[in-house]
Chain A
Amino acid sequence: MASEVEETLKRIEGQRGVVGTVVCNADGIPIRSSLDGVATAQYARLLRKLTVMAKSAVRDIDPQNDLTFLRLRSQKCEIMVGLENEFLVIVIQNLHQ
């Protein structure tokens, strides 16, 4: 049963350039991660804050609408956050060789 979760995460991590993945629950607590403890806690805390703000921005503009995906592009990598049912999956992708 747990293997389906692991397999899905492995498929995501196997994509080109993916550096790490973090899955958080509704309270912002990381429940699965491929990074070390410190980095995981950091990503979970910071991106959860950002996601909550982004979500409320989308819903303030149109209450019928909802945030589905968030992408942050920085000089060194791209951080993607997928949301659904209060869970979050954070994927970090680095395409520079």
Chain B
Amino acid sequence: VSQLLHSGQLSMGPLVFQRGCQTRALHSTDAEVQTVSTAVSSTQTEPQDHVTEQLLQHEEPEPPGLRDFLRQVEDRVIKELVKNARSHAFDGYQVNWEDQSQLVSCRHRLQHPSAQERSLHVTSVSWSCTGSVIACAYGRIDEGDWGTEKSHVCTWNLDRRGLNPKQPDLVIDVPTTVTALSFHPNQPSLIAGGLYTGEVVVWDTSHTQDPVMAQTGMSADSHREPVYQVDWVPLQKRGEFGVLSASSGGRVLLWTLDPDQGGFVLSAGYALVRQQVPHSSRSNYKARGSSHVGVTALALSPWDSDIFLVGSEGGLLLKCSFSSQTLAAAPSEGQSVTLRAPAVFSFRPRNSPIHSIHCSPFHRNLFLSVGTDGLAHLHSLLQTNPLLSVRVSDSYVFDVRWSPTRPLVFAAATGQGVVQIFDLGRRSLRPAATIDQGGANQAATCLAFNSQNPHLLAVGKTDGTVNIWHLSADLTEQSPRETVQLELMAREVAE
């Protein structure tokens, strides 16, 4: 066998390597799941009946020992209850843990220099709902053509550090005299004001550039005479308030704020006309002068949202109703709502203008009224004649307010510049305290209690100052029997 070497060409190509790799075996499995049975359920709460809800149902098992416990303790408890009911140990025992301050002192004397230079009077003061800001309105409403003078509304925040009594925190310039002012009961930045020209304005103090939020302007709907009182009235919808304004033209108008147009919409109007005033049998009031009843005082009742009280320049004191349907006998002047006659009851009229009325925050039937005759009359809503008349001063009395904490105490601002505080619980009818800043011939025109901080009383005077007084403890601390005494007073029948 011959092996032939094949001498061919030995071709050598590029070096090529080959490698391979492989993972170890992967284990994988498949499985399937399927529900065998399903159930669906849902829950929902039911409306709860709050009024008569016992804390726990009686079907619950009684905790062990409860019965024995009650059996043992019952006698002791009943004995103590009976003993307490019969005990005289604490009769007349009154204790007060708070610091007693015996003095009435002046905390601040607030002034606006520009108003002082022009001898403007303070016409109205109002505290904000938070109790820390006091607003006052300047103007003059005495003889002459003062009504067209420019005036201001100034606010001071008393809780601020660095309070400068001579410089208000905010000054709003108003083209005419402001005759009435009222802070919104819930929103601390809104103030409603009534002007000498008959306009009603709401300012928003949080907009410093242009505080005017809404104004009635001079339309057919608005008043023609000075607006002497503005008040915020709760409307049907909870939380909303409208502005009630009363003017000496005999109109009481209810405005609602229109958020779209930024103005007021007249929602209801009432006109008081002499012929439609109900005459009580014992009054011998003779009608004289013009037929309209110029309203100078207005008060809302915190107890009955349908009632409001009106006092007039002629001395009439009327109870009025918002829901009255009688049409007013006043000539229509193109108003957008029909005017109604609201008066339902007439109290004994006086011979002189009534400047202020205030309903008691503690008794639904009582209210006070003061006027130029220098007397404060305590009336019950149910009787024509006053229950009590207190001589406040020999001159005019411009404003009266019940104390927000003491049912029997009220304060009255007099034309002599003195504020008299009366306590009806005392035997004598002399004032419990007299606040006299001095400066005779400067009448005190308005006052307001601070409902958040009841020790503070703001008084505005014709010399352009607003004084903030801190009252003593005995004028602000309620004693236990006061509400009872007030109730007894209200039930007396006037002779």
Contacts and interface: CB of A to CB of B under 8 A. Distances in A.
Contacts of A6: 58
A11 B78 contact: yes
Interface string A25-53: 10000111101110010000000000000
A64 interface: no
B21 interface: no
B82 A84 contact: no
Contact of B84 (A8, A87, A93, A96): A93
A80 B63 CA distance: 22
Nearest to B90: A73
A8 B70 contact: yes
Given A1-B62, A37-B55, A73-B90, A23 B70 contact: yes
Given A2-B62, A5-B67, A82-B77, A15 B55 contact: no
A31 B58 CA distance: 10
B53 A80 contact: no
B81 interface: yes
B70 A89 contact: yes
Contacts of B484: 96-97
B26 interface: no
Interface in B44-99: 50, 53-56, 58, 62-63, 65-74, 76-78, 80-82, 84-85, 90
A32 B76 contact: no
B480 interface: yes
Contact of B65 (A9, A15, A17, A87): A87
Given A15-B85, A16-B81, A5 B70 contact: yes
Contacts of A95: 84-85
B66 A5 contact: yes
B55 A69 contact: no
A32 B62 CA distance: 10
Interface string B245-263: 0000000000000000000
Q: Interface residues of B toward A: which range? A: 20 to 34
A91 B73 contact: no
B70 A80 contact: no
A43 B74 CA distance: 19
A85 B68 contact: yes
A84 B69 contact: yes
A69 B80 CA distance: 9
Nearest to B484: A97
A74 to B, nearest CB: 10
Q: Which of B65, B84, B484 has the most CB of A within 10 A?
A: B84
B81 A15 contact: yes
Shortest beta-carbon contacts, A-B, top 10? A87-B69, A15-B81, A82-B73, A33-B55, A8-B70, A82-B77, A16-B85, A84-B73, A84-B72, A8-B74
Interface of A: 1-2, 4-6, 8-9, 11-12, 15-18, 23, 25, 30-33, 35-37, 40, 68-69, 71, 73, 75, 78, 80, 82-85, 87, 89, 91, 93, 95-97
26 contacts: A2-B58, A8-B70, A8-B71, A12-B81, A15-B78, A17-B84, A23-B66, A23-B70, A25-B63, A25-B66, A30-B55, A32-B66, A35-B55, A36-B50, A40-B55, A69-B80, A75-B480, A80-B84, A82-B73, A82-B77, A84-B69, A85-B65, A87-B69, A91-B81, A93-B84, A97-B484
